[in-house]
Amino acid sequence: MQSQTTAVDGERASTNHVLIRPIRHKRPNLFIRTNSEVQKILIDEYNNAYGVVFTKDNKEYKAYASKEVIVSAGVVNSPKLLMLSGIGPKEHLESLNIPVVKDLAVGENLQDHVSFNGMIVALSNETATTVCEEQILSDIKEYAKMKSKNGPLSGLGPIMSAAFVKSEPNLIAPDLQYQANHVPNWRQFIADPITSEKTAILPCAYYDAVVPRIMNLVPKSKGKLLLNKSDPHGPPIIHSNYLGDDRDIKPLMKGIRRSQVPTCSMMLKEFTAQFLRHTAPSRRHLTPELVLRLVTPSCPLWSARIEDSPFSDPFWGFYWPGGQATARYILDNSDIIRHRGVLDVGCGCGAGAIAAAMRNAKQVVANDIDPFAVIATNINAELNKIKVKTDVDDYVGRSCKDFDVILIGDMFYDEEFASVLFEWLNKLTADNKLIACILNSELGHSLPGKHSAVARFRKTTCDY
């Protein structure tokens, strides 16, 4: 959806600009005092608010109300003002020698939307909107001449796009929001994010990268706001307690995983082109029935330096020995998966899932938390005229009640993660799941050919 903005004729407009300025000199009952700060609300012995005390130019004044006193100082200063006026937690107010008018939990229900913006999607030269400084100045001058503003400078760039989604299908309403922030120069941003943020002055219309922002709309964690004991009238103390409730972590993680999937056709097209450019169809492995696009010795990427690779970790371009052992066993022993639900965890290039689909599994889901592995799997499945479902959720630790067989290949990278995996696999085995588990003789990533693999199916062991 397109985000709503506070704008008039293509220009950003504040509340003051839209609502106050048009009536400022027309309403006889409207008085505006700038550079003034309310110190407290005046409350009589019957607990009725009848005015405020405010300061201007270091002098104290009182303003009286004939009707109501409306407190509208924002999420931080409204509770601060109430507590300064004696409305708040009794123990806290008494510790500051503030007379208690009403003992209420003011400031103790602070809820904020935790957001994640730790990913940067760099755009190609064809899709980036960056232009030279001279062109920007020319665009700004042209924009300034317009009476009714339009064009790219009248918008907010990628942040104009937003989506509201459910982390779980059974929820009544969406609990996550997606936005996209612009990055004027992603190389500068990565080198020094703080300085880049502080010095970024380019309009939102010009950017060469976007940052997906995932927001938790229904936070369960609650913080609190307290008056500053050293200076009650100064900035209050905020205890945000972000992620203090574990229930806030799961939906946010789901949102992050989903945002990693490059569903945008542009990103999919770019990765697919890179994938096809740096891989080649191959049957030179233990499962020649499958043709897979892999990084082979004939591909430049095979011997490329890390800094010359367009991918951070193209593990999905290799057919690891553990994956070969799993797929070979499935192809030779099709009875173990026929008419059963199969989950391929850490699918990589997707060979295990493709082999299971070839042998008539009831349903097959290829899972990997790396979205590019999922895309590689889809490409390889199509190459073999096979359809498999793909998923980027983290299944480790789940009950996997919809599956009968769990395939897990070269994922025992270190002792800590291996312990987590073994604990999970033991639980699945206790639930009568069929486990295809590949164990490495050495912990840690290795080049193809450096693993010795053992395929375990419950109590059956098959060596390759």
Residues 270 and 205 in one domain: no
Q: Does residue 285 lie within any of the structural domains?
A: yes
Residues 210 and 279 in one domain: no
E strands, 59-155, are 59-64, 87-88, 102-103, 115-116, 121-122
Higher per-residue confidence, 21 vs 2: 21
Confidence at residue 261, expressed as pLDDT on a 0 to 100 scale: 63
Q: Which of 111, 106, 108 lies closest to 220, judged by CA?
A: 111
**Other residues' Cβ atoms within 10 Å of the Cβ of residue 447:** 8
Residues 321 and 455 in one domain: yes
Confidence at residue 211, expressed as pLDDT on a 0 to 100 scale: 86
390-432 pLDDT per residue, tens: 988 889 999 999 999 999 877 877 788 888 998 999 999 999 9
DSSP SS3 for 450:
coil
Give the helix ranges, DSSP H, for 306-450: 321-332, 351-358, 371-383, 415-430
Confidence at residue 266, expressed as pLDDT on a 0 to 100 scale: 56
Confidence at residue 447, expressed as pLDDT on a 0 to 100 scale: 39
Banded pLDDT at 297 (limits 50, 70, 90): very high
Residues 15-51 as b or e (16 or more Cβ within 10 Å = b): eeeeeeeeeeeeeeeeeeeeeeebbbbbbeeeeebbe
**Other residues' Cβ atoms within 10 Å of the Cβ of residue 448:** 13
Tokens at 112, concatenated: 């904020």
DSSP SS3 for 28:
coil
When divided into structural domains, the chain yields a total of 2
**d(Cα 104, Cα 86) in Å, to the nearest integer?**
10
Given a cut of 60, is residue 302 above it in pLDDT? yes
Q: Does residue 69 lie within any of the structural domains?
A: no
Confidence at residue 354, expressed as pLDDT on a 0 to 100 scale: 97
Residues 272 and 206 in one domain: no
DSSP SS3 for 97:
coil
Q: Does residue 418 lie within any of the structural domains?
A: yes
- Burial class, 261, CB count within 10 angstroms (exposed 0-12 / middle 13-18 / buried 19+): middle
Long-range contacts, stretch 45-53, CB < 8 angstroms, 24+ apart: 47/101, 47/102
Given a cut of 70, is residue 183 above it in pLDDT? yes
- The most confident of the ranges 8-12, 161-165, 292-296 is 292-296
Report which residue type is found at 216.
N
Residues 312 and 395 in one domain: yes
Q: Which CATH number goes with the domain that contains 364?
A: 3.40.50.150
Confidence at residue 438, expressed as pLDDT on a 0 to 100 scale: 63
Higher per-residue confidence, 286 vs 130: 286
Q: Which of 160, 152, 179 lies closest to 2, judged by CA?
A: 160
Confidence at residue 47, expressed as pLDDT on a 0 to 100 scale: 93
Confidence at residue 262, expressed as pLDDT on a 0 to 100 scale: 53
**d(Cα 399, Cα 424) in Å, to the nearest integer?**
9
pTM over 0.75: no
Residues 279 and 428 in one domain: yes
Confidence at residue 264, expressed as pLDDT on a 0 to 100 scale: 53
Residues 443 and 337 in one domain: yes
Residues 317 and 430 in one domain: yes
Confidence at residue 11, expressed as pLDDT on a 0 to 100 scale: 80
264-293 pLDDT per residue, tens: 555 677 778 888 889 999 999 999 999 999
Higher per-residue confidence, 376 vs 322: 376
Q: Does residue 427 lie within any of the structural domains?
A: yes
> Quick check: 407 and 326 in contact, CB under 8 A?
yes
CA angle 195, 201, 205 (to 5 degrees): 125
Q: Which of 24, 263, 244 lies closest to 114, judged by CA?
A: 244
With pLDDT > 70 as the criterion, what percentage of the chain qualifies?
A: 92
Given a cut of 60, is residue 456 above it in pLDDT? no
**d(Cα 369, Cα 206) in Å, to the nearest integer?**
31
Q: 32 Cβ partners below 8 Å, 6+ apart? A: 20, 24
Confidence at residue 439, expressed as pLDDT on a 0 to 100 scale: 58
Banded pLDDT at 190 (limits 50, 70, 90): confident
Confidence at residue 459, expressed as pLDDT on a 0 to 100 scale: 32
Tokens at 67, concatenated: 């009707």
Which residues span the domain enclosing 362? 266-463
E strands, 219-285, are 224-226, 237-239, 280-282
Given a cut of 90, is residue 98 above it in pLDDT? yes
**d(Cα 424, Cα 422) in Å, to the nearest integer?**
5
Q: Does residue 22 lie within any of the structural domains?
A: no
DSSP SS3 for 165:
strand
356-403 pLDDT per residue, tens: 999 999 999 999 988 889 999 999 999 999 999 998 888 999 999 999
Q: Does residue 103 lie within any of the structural domains?
A: no
Q: Does residue 253 lie within any of the structural domains?
A: no
Q: Does residue 214 lie within any of the structural domains?
A: yes
Q: 88 Cβ partners below 8 Å, 6+ apart? A: 79, 82, 100, 102, 103, 104, 105, 106, 107
DSSP assignment letter at 146: -
Residues 190 and 329 in one domain: no
Summary mean pLDDT of the chain: 86
Residues 319 and 186 in one domain: no
